[in-house]
Amino acid sequence: MIKIHDSSLLIADRYFIEKFYAEGGMQEVYLATDRHLDRPVALKTPKTSSASKRFQSSSICSAKIIHPNVARTLDYFVSDGREYLVEEFIEGDDLQKIFNTFFDYLDPSLVAHIGHLLVRGLLASHRANIVHRDLKPSNIMICGGISVRDLKITDFGIAKLLDDELKLFSEDDVESSVAGSRTLVGAVPYMAPEIVLDTGRASKSSDIWSFGAILYQLLSGTAPFGTKFTKIILNYHLKKPIEPINILHSAQHLSPLASELFQIIIECLDYDENARPTAEELLKRFSGLCYSNSVRKIGVVKYRDKGFGFMSTNDSDDDIFFHSNDTYGEALKIGDNVSFSAYDGVPKPRAFPTVKLRS
């Protein structure tokens, strides 16, 4: 695949490209070194002329938001006719990649932790009167791997570019039009009905819908209304409610938290924009939730009996006790890889909560 830039290139006599880092539907991202301040940065540049049109306004939007859960915009400039956006470099992977690599679904404690961090960043943007418009797992950077030590929202203003692509849909073959756009393929499952059905009509409430759709996927493993554009449009026209999550009450000790999260999701995915909670209301709700945000470990189930078992880890000689009442989703089997937090116990440390990792 041809990249816009090669490594070891100096841009604007300041930013030295170390390597290509990632790309989205509209931009490429490079790890670069700021030679003036001697620090790593993320250097972003648009891939197409259509994306280039709004790159500057996007930079201005994101620069207005200063919050620990939002990626900081450091600079915007034009060099040799090409626009560049400089953001803080975030050591980690996006939420979509972490989810696809490790999980089929997340346990309620981890979902609550992610939701709490995410809504903090979302509230900061809404207080700055900035609507993200394209909130999705791939626009959420995670630090700390499966422990989710921290979280930062990225690509705020870039989402405005989605309007242009939405307007270019082929009326004869909408599904192919969407499939041909890498941006839209990842965005549509999280887009609010008012954006999909009435192109460009986005509000803060639209971000709340996206927030709820993300939580639903994390908790269940699937997007709330599927991933096919035509099916999503039909569901939106019919105002179809979300499906119950079959594994929601699979862990007795996590069931109350799961119920609270599902109620929040239902309210966020209300077809009436005015009925959805605000980011400020959601922050209060998440601040009142009781959940574990302890460091996560990975273990392997070595013994299983009725309702309980033991697992081993690479960083401890002690076996870890687990119980089915603390296990979200599929019952664990010998040999399964598991994500969990460990707490002191007698005679063995105890895992809580536990969730099976992807094979």
Of 21-25, 36-40, 119-123, 177-181, give the lowest mean pLDDT range: 177-181
Domain end (from 26, 60, 88)? 88
Residues 109-136 have pLDDT tens digits of 999 999 999 999 999 999 998 899 889 9
In this structure, the answer to whether residues 147 and 281 fall within a common structural domain is yes
Mean pLDDT of 99-104: 98
In this structure, the answer to whether residues 257 and 219 fall within a common structural domain is yes
Whether 292 is in a domain gets the answer no
In this structure, the answer to whether residues 238 and 216 fall within a common structural domain is yes
* Residue 22: pLDDT band with limits 50, 70, 90: confident
Amino acid code (one letter) for 144? G
Whether 45 is in a domain gets the answer yes
**Between 321 and 166, the higher pLDDT residue:** 321
pLDDT at 179 over 60: no
Alpha helices in the chain (DSSP H): 49-52, 55-63, 95-102, 108-127, 162-167, 174-179, 182-187, 193-197, 204-220, 229-237, 255-268, 279-287
In this structure, the answer to whether residues 169 and 225 fall within a common structural domain is yes
In this structure, the answer to whether residues 206 and 269 fall within a common structural domain is yes
Question: Any idea what DSSP says for residue 36?
Answer: T
Segment of 23-32, 93-102, 129-138, 181-190 carrying the highest mean pLDDT: 93-102
Domain that holds residue 185: 93-287
For residues 345 and 321, is the Cβ–Cβ distance under 8 A? yes
Whether 4 is in a domain gets the answer no
Question: CA-to-CA distance for 253 and 325, rounded, in angstroms?
Answer: 6
Whether 26 is in a domain gets the answer yes
* Inter-helix orientation angle 204-220/255-268, to 10°: 140
pLDDT at 162 over 90: no
Return all residues near 234 (Cβ < 8 A) that are at least 6 apart: none
**Between 164 and 301, the higher pLDDT residue:** 301
Residues 60-98 have pLDDT tens digits of 888 889 999 999 999 999 999 899 999 999 999 999 999
In this structure, the answer to whether residues 215 and 281 fall within a common structural domain is yes
Per DSSP, the three-state class of 5 is coil
* Residue 152: pLDDT band with limits 50, 70, 90: very high
DSSP per position, 234-258? HHHHTTPPPPP-TTTTSSGGGHHHH
Residues 304-357 have pLDDT tens digits of 999 999 999 988 788 999 999 999 999 999 999 999 999 999 999 999 999 999
Computed over every residue of the chain, the mean pLDDT equals 89
Q: For residue 271, what is the domain's CATH number?
A: 1.10.510.10
Domain end (from 88, 122, 148)? 88
pLDDT given for residue 199 in this prediction: 64
Question: CA-to-CA distance for 273 and 271, rounded, in angstroms?
Answer: 6
Tokens representing residue 166 in the block: 């939405």
pLDDT given for residue 14 in this prediction: 97
Half-sphere exposure of 317 (CA within 13 A, CB side): 0
Tokens representing residue 146 in the block: 């499966």
Half-sphere exposure of 337 (CA within 13 A, CB side): 11
* Residue 1: pLDDT band with limits 50, 70, 90: low
Which neighbouring-strand residues pair with 73? Answer: 87
* Residue 27: pLDDT band with limits 50, 70, 90: confident
Per DSSP, the three-state class of 84 is strand
Virtual torsion, Cα 239, 240, 242, 243, nearest 10 deg: 170
Q: For residue 48, what is the domain's CATH number?
A: 3.30.200.20
Nearest Cα to 336, choosing from 348, 347, 351, 346? 351
In this structure, the answer to whether residues 152 and 44 fall within a common structural domain is no
* Residue 175: pLDDT band with limits 50, 70, 90: very low
Structural domains of the chain, count = 3
Return all residues near 158 (Cβ < 8 A) that are at least 6 apart: 24, 26, 27, 51, 54, 55, 58, 134
In this structure, the answer to whether residues 105 and 235 fall within a common structural domain is yes
Segment of 42-56, 114-128, 224-238 carrying the highest mean pLDDT: 114-128
Of 52-61, 75-84, 274-283, 297-306, give the lowest mean pLDDT range: 52-61
By percentage, how much of the chain surpasses pLDDT 90? 73
Q: For residue 341, what is the domain's CATH number?
A: 2.40.50.140
pLDDT given for residue 127 in this prediction: 94
Report how far apart, in Å, the C-alpha atoms of 28 and of each of 5, 31, 155 are. 9, 10, 12
Domain end (from 267, 287, 307)? 287
pLDDT at 176 over 60: no
By percentage, how much of the chain surpasses pLDDT 70? 89
